[in-house]
Structure formats: C-alpha cells, structure tokens
Chain A
Amino acid sequence: MDKAIKKWFPLFALPTVVAFTIAFLAPFIMGLYLSLCKFKTVKDAKLIGFNNYARAFSDDKFINALWFTTKFTIVSVITINILAFILAMLLTKSLKGTNVFRTLFFMPNLIGGIVLGYIWIMIINGVLYYSNATITSDPNYGFWGLVILMNWQLIGYMMIIYISGIQNISPDLLEAAEIDGANRWQKLIHVTLPQIMPSITICLFLTLTNSFKLFDQNYALTAGAPGDKTQMLALDIYNTFYGRVGWQGVGQAKAVVFFIIVAAIALTQLYLTRSKEVEN
C-alpha cells in the first residue's frame, strides 16, 4: 500500500502542484521581485532596491491602516468567537427548531462581501439618519459598522464549527463530571472547552486571518471615508497600487509586508492554540 502511494504520488499530486505553481508560487516570487522594482505595468520593471519599503513605512496612510486593522481584528475576533460559541451552546440544547435557527444564522455567510457592504450601508445610514449623521460622519461609526457587519457574516459560520465540536464531545465525559458533582460552569470550563480546542483553533484562525485581510466589506461600506481614516490594509494596498501613479512598487512592498504580518500572526496563533489541544 505504502509502496503504491509512493509510486503514484507524483502523478496524483501533479495537477495540484502545477496549479499551485502557476496561481500562487510564480506570482508570489514575482511579487517579491516587483517589490524591489519601479514599474508602471509589470512588464517594464527596473530594480531599485529597498526604496519602496522605505516609502511604504513613511506613508502615514499605511501606518494608520495598520493600526485600524489591528484594532478591528482584535475586536471582531473576540466578539465573533464569543457570540458564535454562545449560539452554538444554545443550539446544541434539545430545543425545538434548532435546525431552522442554524440555517438562518448560517445564511449571511452565503452573501458576497460587496453586497453585504451595500446592504449594511443602507441599514446603518438609515439608523444614523435619526441622529442626523451618516457612516462617514465619524470614523468610529465606520469602525463599529465594520465590526457589526463582520459579526453578522461570520458568526453563523463559526457557530457551525463550534456545534460540530460540541456534538463530538463524548457524553461519558459530561456524565462523569456530573457524577463527580461538577456544576454547569465547571463542566463548561473543564470539559467542554478543552474538548473543543480543535474547533477553537480553526475558528480563531479563520476569524483572525479573515478580519486582517478584509477587503470587499471595507470597500463597499466606507471606502475609507472620512479621509481614509477607516481604510484597512488590503484596501490601502489596492489604492496605492492602482490609484497612485508611480507608487505601484510601493503598493507591492506594502503587500509583501502585509503577507509577512498575516503569516506571522496566523502561525503564532496556530502554534499557541494547537499546544492547548487535548487528545480524546
């Protein structure tokens, strides 16, 4: 069996490897190279060294976007996961109509980000209308608007993952805890949470990276207004690359920095939560 796998491995892996090389590896390497270049279109690049990186870090908008993104990520990761977990706990109790609720909560996740942005801009502006303001009146409105949108979209998805985790907990463990006299809270902390660590790992990973890389929702909801104060990293990169003449290289340098940050955060988080996972 092992021998057969070894023999056929290259053949079966080939399509994926080719696709991965064409759609990821080659552009990635090219991107690294371009971040060191000055160019208008990607064919006429001239090597100029690390100048682009210096310009990227001296760009206030980039630094501002970095902070905004960091704040946004922290808030939305916490809120999404707590709310999703609470919903998952509720919907694993034997209540009537849990399936209907699960479906309903999951549904927002099926709508694309741009559409969501436009839906929420109407809702939020509609509400703010009563206090004579719009989402662009204050960067804080934009911030919380994005948090609400993100929660609305991702809670259902994370909830499903938590539900599957909770349903996989062996009833024996809970029963044993009960016999030992554990109350509800103790059962949650000492049995349920350790048992669903794999779900927590994956949920944290998804929310963390998705929040950090947010683009469409940001683009559709605020587009950075007022005055680029609600601009997140991905949008800033997009605007630098396409919106400013002569800044393509800087945009590319920002993208490389962005990649390093996302990779570093994701790997650290995976390492930290993985180490907490327990064997059944």
Chain B
Amino acid sequence: MKNVKRILALSLAGCMMAGVLAGCSDDSSSGDSENKGALTGDSSIDTSEVKSIYFLNFKPEIADKYEEIAKKYKEEKGIEVKIETAASGEYEKKLTSEMAKSDPPTIFQINGPVGYSNWADYCADLKSTELYNLLNDKSLAVTKDDGVYGVPYAVEGYGIIYNNAILDKYIATDGAVIKSVDEINSFSKLSEVVQDMTAKKDKLGIEGVFGSTSLKTGDDWRWQTHLMDLPLYYEFNTGDGSSITNCLNAAELEFKYADNYKNIFDLYTDNSCTDKNLLGGKTVDESMAEFATGKCAMIQNGNWAWGQISGIDGNKVKEEDVKFLPIYTGVDGEDKQGLCVGTENYFAINSQVDAAQQQASIDFLEWLFTSDYGKKAVTNDLGFIAPFTSFGDNEKPTDPLAKDVLNWMEKDGYTSVAWTFAGIPSETWKNNFGASLLEYVQGQKEWTAVVDDAKADWKTERENAATE
C-alpha cells in the first residue's frame, strides 16, 4: 500500500527531476526541438567518440535476443548498445518518460503515421540513409513532405490460424460440408464449417472451434485493432489513394461494415471453447495455450505467435499443421482476399541527441540488416520478415506461420488487406472500443450502441488529435 505512494511519487519525481536537470543543460544550447545535425548516407560523421547508443525495444518477447545481438555488436564494433524493453502495451508510456531523461533513447519505435505525429519533433530524417535505400518497397516507410521519418523493419501478417490436423479429422467425418480446406473462401462457408464443427466437437476432441476471444483490458488488441482492420480497410480502400492515408484523414467513421465485423465476432464468441461471460478474464497467452494444446482448432493471430505456440508446455500442434486462413467477414469479392499484411514497427532515430550518436545508431541498424550475423539473427532469432533487399531468398524466415504469410502474399490474384488500423485516431479509441466489445459480449450493451459509440468516439478523438 505504501508502495503505491512511493512508486508513484518516486517515478513522477524522477521524471520531473530528469526534466529539471535536462532542462538546465538545454537552456545553454538554445532551441529545444531543433535538429542537431542531419544524418548522412556516407559515414562522414565521426562516431569514434560514441561509447554507447540506446535502443528502446517494443517487443518484450524478443528482448533477450536483442541483448545477445547487442553483445555481439559490442565485440565487433566496440559500441555498447543499451537495450531497454517496455512491457506489453506500455511502450508509449515508457517512451514518454525515457525521452525526458538526460540520456534518452537514440533508437526508438513509432507505430506508423499516428505515432509519427506524436513524436515528430524527435524523429530524424532518414532519407539519405542506407537503411531506407535498402527497403524493397519504399512506400512502406513513414514519410512527410520530403522527409522519411520511420523505416519499417518487419512485415507481419495475421489471419485465422488453424490446426490442419483437426480440420482433416473433421473432413473425414460423415456429412462434412467441405472436402478440403481450400473450399473455405467466404464468410458463409467458414460459418457453415465452424457451426458443423461445433456440433461435432466431442467427436473432434475439441472444446470449441475458436480459442478464447481474450477481452481482458490490455489483451484485447486482437479485436479492437486487428479485427477492426477489415471494416476499416473496406471502408477506406476506395481506390483513391492508400486506405491508410484515407483512414488517417477521415474526420468521421461511417462504420459501413459494422455488420461484417459483427458476423465474424459473433462467430468467434458463439463457437468458442470459453463461455461468453468468462471472456473478460482471458489473456492472449491463455488463448494461445488453448490452441497449442489442441483444445480449439482455430484462432485469430499473426505470424509472431509461432514462438508462443511452439513454446508452450504440452504443445500438441505439429509444425506442418499450422496454417493461415484469411479473415472472412462476408464482404463481396472476399474470395480473393488474402491475409492482413503490413507493419506497425518502424525504427526512428532521435533527432535531439547529437549527430554522432544518431549516426552510430544508424550504423547499428544497418549492421543488423546487412551483416551476415545480423541478418541471420533477424531471420532466426527475431523472427522478422524483413522488408530489405539485403535479404536473399534463402534468408527468409523458416517458421511455419511466417512461411505461410509469404505464401499468401505471393498467391496469384489475391490481395492482401493493408493495415489500415494505422489510421485509427488514438490508443484511447481502441481501448474504448475494446471495453465496448467486452460489454457487448457480456450482454450489457446492444450492438447498435457499440457501433454508435465507436463512431462518436472516432469524431471526438480525431478532433482531439487535431487540436494538439
């Protein structure tokens, strides 16, 4: 109890003192948000004075891998890379307090255009760096006017992960509605299969078709962000400009595809291995464990989840049985829809640290994505599908989910769904929407109210962001 006061007081005090001290030292060098020298492509900036750089990592699940890479880098180049990791869902908070310190992160992460607008004063222009030039699709980068402020380092994909062994078992049963998984190419087909599977769940040895729709606060991102991507994509992919930009510029949300969202969301919760009323206590970890131990046949998640599936004790899912299905919601023409592919992970370099440190940070990233050791670590340890031309075909990831993402991306005639959720006005919108979904599932809120609140919230949050 007293800890509360202490922790709160100490951390706030810490932040503020750091601010006081940093503020003092800044006064002498006039101008807070001014760029301290631009980054260059060649290494004309002398980095020999730089002893250490500081990388604020976004992904807790691979924090220890980064530590190993940092150790190796120190051995090779003599520069220490300080790795700090924010807890899941706490990145913005951590970044806010770390940035105020006298030794702020030199490499940090923004989650796209919205993240960029929050941190615009701190993002260095990366246009002339090798890192940007190596991108295989330059349109993926976060740009503003002529500058490049965020370079994506990992492409990810998500959809409905299914356990092929259970699906095969189902197909072998009497009266199965499909002969092969490939026949599932629309919401109606998916829903038919799922409902039939639910009816036969004892025979199939599962507790439900889908894993728990985890709606615990902080564990609801698969629904309030990822699943929300589909209605957003269809609403804003009007053929005129990128869907992300359109979404980002939308002052209001029409939520035209709300019914489609409801389709799939209801399908998840009605055919889940967990009762609706208990979903509020479920975490992502728990629901991934359900999938890994064979309690359910399908689960919505992305390629990053492989580590979680394979690492769970009592894992019964074989590597060759894990595959992706696109998330079908009943939109016209969805038979040619692919997985949701995009990135939320952009590296940014802190423009407020001195030029040599900025350069040293860039050097580290370039080393990571071009050196043999670095590339191997990226593919095997970090598990990224790196969007850089420096990676050869034989350097692509080998885990089954990442492979299947690439497989879907290369399928002829299929269109991947862009990560339009990057244009959602704020984290607050997502959290409110997640809370709404929980109340809906628990029967405390009508669907129409969920939709209306989401629309109203979109408007206020967008206005809020605009006044900043």
Q: How far is the CA of A129 from the CA of B426 in the complex (A)?
A: 34
Tell me whether B100 and A42 are in contact (CB under 8 A).
yes
Known: A43-B22, A215-B8, A227-B439. A112 touches B3 (CB 8 A): yes
Q: How far is the CA of A132 from the CA of B280 in the complex (A)?
A: 11
Tell me whether A225 and B280 are in contact (CB under 8 A).
yes
Chain B residues 178 to 230 lying within 8 A of chain A, measured CB to CB, are 215-218
Partner of B468, one of A22, A224, A226, A246: A246
Q: How far is the CA of A214 from the CA of B5 in the complex (A)?
A: 8
Tell me whether A136 and B23 are in contact (CB under 8 A).
no
- For the complex of A and B, the 4 pairs showing the least CB-CB separation, nearest first, are A42-B19, A136-B280, A242-B93, A246-B468
**B33: interface (CB < 8 Å):** yes
Write 16 A-B pairs (CB below 8 A) sorted by A numbering: A27-B16, A40-B96, A109-B1, A133-B278, A135-B280, A135-B281, A137-B277, A137-B442, A216-B3, A225-B217, A226-B444, A238-B8, A242-B96, A245-B92, A246-B465, A248-B96
> Which residue of chain B has the shortest Cβ distance to A132 in the bound complex?
B277
Inside 8 A of B8's CB, which chain A residues have their CB?
A: 213, 215, 234, 238
Inside 8 A of B121's CB, which chain A residues have their CB?
A: 40, 44
Contact flags B77-93 to A (C-beta < 8 A → 1, else 0)? 00000000000000011
Tell me whether B16 and A43 are in contact (CB under 8 A).
no
Q: How far is the CA of A232 from the CA of B278 in the complex (A)?
A: 23
Chain B: residues with CB nearer than 8 A to chain A? 1-5, 7-10, 12-13, 15-20, 22-23, 26, 32-33, 92-93, 96-97, 99-100, 118, 121, 215-218, 275, 277-281, 426-428, 431-432, 435-436, 438-439, 442, 444, 464-465, 467-468
Tell me whether A27 and B218 are in contact (CB under 8 A).
no
B283–chain A nearest beta-carbon distance, Å: 11
Known: A132-B275, A137-B442, A242-B96. A31 touches B5 (CB 8 A): no
Partner of A23, one of B10, B15, B26, B215: B10
**A223: interface (CB < 8 Å):** yes
B391–chain A nearest beta-carbon distance, Å: 34
Chain A residues 241 to 256 lying within 8 A of chain B, measured CB to CB, are 242-246, 248, 255
A56–chain B nearest beta-carbon distance, Å: 14
> Which residue of chain B has the shortest Cβ distance to A157 in the bound complex?
B1
Tell me whether B438 and A226 are in contact (CB under 8 A).
yes
Q: How far is the CA of A83 from the CA of B215 in the complex (A)?
A: 36
Tell me whether A22 and B23 are in contact (CB under 8 A).
no
Inside 8 A of B442's CB, which chain A residues have their CB?
A: 136-137, 226
Q: How far is the CA of A26 from the CA of B21 in the complex (A)?
A: 11
Q: How far is the CA of A242 from the CA of B15 in the complex (A)?
A: 12
Known: A30-B19, A43-B19, A227-B435. A137 touches B280 (CB 8 A): yes
Tell me whether B439 and A27 are in contact (CB under 8 A).
no
**A277: interface (CB < 8 Å):** no
**A65: interface (CB < 8 Å):** no
Number of interface residues of A (CB under 8 A): 49
Known: A210-B2, A245-B465. A42 touches B435 (CB 8 A): no
Tell me whether B4 and A214 are in contact (CB under 8 A).
yes
Inside 8 A of A112's CB, which chain B residues have their CB?
A: 3
Tell me whether B4 and A243 are in contact (CB under 8 A).
no
> Which residue of chain A has the shortest Cβ distance to B97 in the bound complex?
A242
Known: A213-B5, A214-B4. A24 touches B96 (CB 8 A): no
Inside 8 A of B9's CB, which chain A residues have their CB?
A: 23-24
Known: A227-B439, A228-B435. A132 touches B4 (CB 8 A): no
Q: How far is the CA of A248 from the CA of B100 in the complex (A)?
A: 13
4 more A-B residue pairs beyond the given contacts A242-B97, A243-B93, with a C-beta to C-beta distance below 8 A: A43-B22, A135-B280, A135-B281, A225-B435
Inside 8 A of B16's CB, which chain A residues have their CB?
A: 26-27, 30-31, 34, 42
Partner of B278, one of A24, A132, A210, A246: A132
Tell me whether B1 and A30 are in contact (CB under 8 A).
no
Partner of A216, one of B4, B99, B435: B4
Inside 8 A of B18's CB, which chain A residues have their CB?
A: 42
Q: How far is the CA of A44 from the CA of B281 in the complex (A)?
A: 40
**A201: interface (CB < 8 Å):** no
**A154: interface (CB < 8 Å):** yes
B100–chain A nearest beta-carbon distance, Å: 4
